[in-house]
Structure 1
């Protein structure tokens, strides 16, 4: 998502300007993924990565007046890497004032929903969506709930303890055997479980939407993407950690007519999570920009004396 967003900002001239006085926002286009790839040695602390980000912002503040004018409040970064939030902690203004667009929208790790933006985590093998979006009607989905993935973090062990190999209606797998299709099982399921792993975000949420499966969000501190305009409770089930043992009771307790309405809403909202080579209206690229713009509306910057106001 980092690379895709940077690329689309570069090639879509309608969203950017070379005149800083016409800009509503300033994008800090650094990639945490690339920082890790080129500047981190496995097994070493990440201090040097944070120092690179700090040097980068200090350089911008030295060369240009706009960071200091607003204390970074009209600047934003975007990261889907696990270390995106952590590297931002090395720059006080970035955490306190700037807009951080993050996949790991974890309120227990200082994610601020009123200032920061939750970005959907999307895992794609290419930039094409052919074959990734679809699925049968609700009447042809025979599995109540499905999950397959690693048993890590502090949410998934609870899920595995109560449901792995315990009930054919709640299919929880510690990865799938060779030859078993992950996508096919999603498309056979009414509900797709999306428990947090090491981090609160998971690509399974978008995968569920792509495959017409109602997502079940299981997390302690996750802020779902685009919550400013999307009412997640109308097309997803939100389950607390304490409710995991009651998962089957909760899902079977949802009336069939309500489930069908939720599934239809999944089909309607998934366009907001689709990534296209050339951005299309209302797709994920536009939704991210819209979320960032909404937070920019809370900041007023004076062009004369440099004063900055937070509404």
Structure 2
């Protein structure tokens, strides 16, 4: 067998394939006609998406993506439809809750629990037959590992890593699928800051597998061509009810808003330059008494989303929910769904070094351009909404689509000798 990653940027729906780039795998000793069939289906999907990139639009009774918010709306739509038609995920059944098959659903790590629950309850994409699967899900929750396995304040990642190592050893001995691709058609996900560290437990999980991470930090090994940026959504009540919506662009009197704790290297710089220093930029370490955080977002044109200790921030999705244009301040963050969404069309990216110029950067955006950006924020919001049960094109399906794209960026071959 041979696992061949395709080269190319994650900015393309289907990156071009480099036939010379490959990793040797263990040789197959069984009939892999099902694998051949799966790979043939993926080839047809890639061909259909390339055809869509040439302008052949597909009809859809529910939703047809269009506009500058998308890098290539036609290709995205066709890719999404191909995913709906054939994508299958096998969830390993080994492991007991609460560390496995479970996750938080009412916290800053809620996307972990929501996705685990969503895929395990799903009848469209989940398959009970591993021979039909395109990808294999490792259903451990890093947030639960930290809660139940990690010894608090020990600074010892050993127990977490040993749990992940033991799990991979169990499924690799019981099933042939991990070994046949060295984990390349497997994925894990984590919204906890320690997700990347947990993935380093085994070399193949870190180097080959699809890692779905909120902490999408390129300076710490996040690879956009292989890994998936996972939206961080703080569901305090377990629901998005009451958090969606806000005034139109012309009814937002505040230029920009931020309120948050002083942690990480970026926020101290922001607060040093702008805390309580400008009526247009409402930057606070602590909100004034009686002021509502969410009301401030709804009154603001721009919502400042600086990195904390890690690059991801729940403020990005909170801003989108409120119809507030996100201002992303980070040097190494890959925003969610960047292979599909053109973030520059509905957000502002500010390097850390330009924080002193923040007001000028925002003031230089013309009123007409701001109105366009704000309307686009509202248009892309459906892709970040948490729905029960999940609905087409919502955040659950967009995460699945990101995994689907990465699986199409991998080929698993049969009957090739070890090199």
Specify the SS of the correspondent of 1:139: helix
What count of residue pairs does the alignment treat as equivalent? 307
Measured after TM superposition, the shift of residue 35 of structure 1 is 0.7
Range with bigger deviation, 47-56 or 181-190 = 47-56
Q: Indicate the residue corresponding to 1:253 in structure 2.
A: 364
Q: Indicate the residue corresponding to 2:398 in structure 1.
A: 287
Measured after TM superposition, the shift of residue 307 of structure 1 is 7.2
Contact 1:146 1:191 in 2 (8 A): yes
Q: Indicate the residue corresponding to 2:112 in structure 1.
A: 2
| Structure 1 residues without counterparts, runs of 5 or longer | none
Greater relative CO, 1 or 2 (CA 8 Å, sep 6+): 2
Instruction: Supply the distance in 2 between the matched residues of 1:307 and 1:11 (Cα, whole angstroms).
Output: 39
Measured after TM superposition, the shift of residue 243 of structure 1 is 0.8
> TM-score normalized by structure 2?
0.72
> TM-score normalized by structure 1?
0.97
Which segments of structure 1 move beyond 4 Å, counting only runs of 4 or more? none
Instruction: Supply the distance in 1 between the matched residues of 2:239 and 2:213 (Cα, whole angstroms).
Output: 23
Specify the SS of the correspondent of 1:144: strand
Residue of 202, 205, 217 corresponding to 2:313: 202
Instruction: Supply the distance in 2 between the matched residues of 1:130 and 1:88 (Cα, whole angstroms).
Output: 33
Counterparts of 1:13-52 in structure 2, within 5 Å, are 13-44=123-154, 45-52=156-163
Instruction: Supply the distance in 2 between the matched residues of 1:284 and 1:93 (Cα, whole angstroms).
Output: 27
Shift in alpha-carbon separation, 1:49–1:22, aligned structure 2, 3 A: same
Q: Output the aligned Cα RMSD.
A: 1.2
Contact 1:214 1:237 in 2 (8 A): yes
Question: How big is each residue's C-alpha offset from its partner over 1:239-296, in whole Å with a ceiling of 9 and x where there is no partner?
Answer: 0011110000010010000000000000000110000110101000000000011010
Instruction: Supply the distance in 2 between the matched residues of 1:146 and 1:175 (Cα, whole angstroms).
Output: 12
Measured after TM superposition, the shift of residue 177 of structure 1 is 3.3
Measured after TM superposition, the shift of residue 176 of structure 1 is 1.4
Instruction: Supply the distance in 1 between the matched residues of 2:129 and 2:247 (Cα, whole angstroms).
Output: 49
Q: Indicate the residue corresponding to 2:105 in structure 1.
A: none
Measured after TM superposition, the shift of residue 306 of structure 1 is 7.1
Q: In terms of Rg, which structure is larger?
A: 2
Instruction: Supply the distance in 1 between the matched residues of 2:245 and 2:393 (Cα, whole angstroms).
Output: 19
Q: Indicate the residue corresponding to 1:299 in structure 2.
A: 410
Measured after TM superposition, the shift of residue 175 of structure 1 is 2.5
Instruction: Supply the distance in 1 between the matched residues of 2:157 and 2:291 (Cα, whole angstroms).
Output: 38
Q: Indicate the residue corresponding to 2:66 in structure 1.
A: none
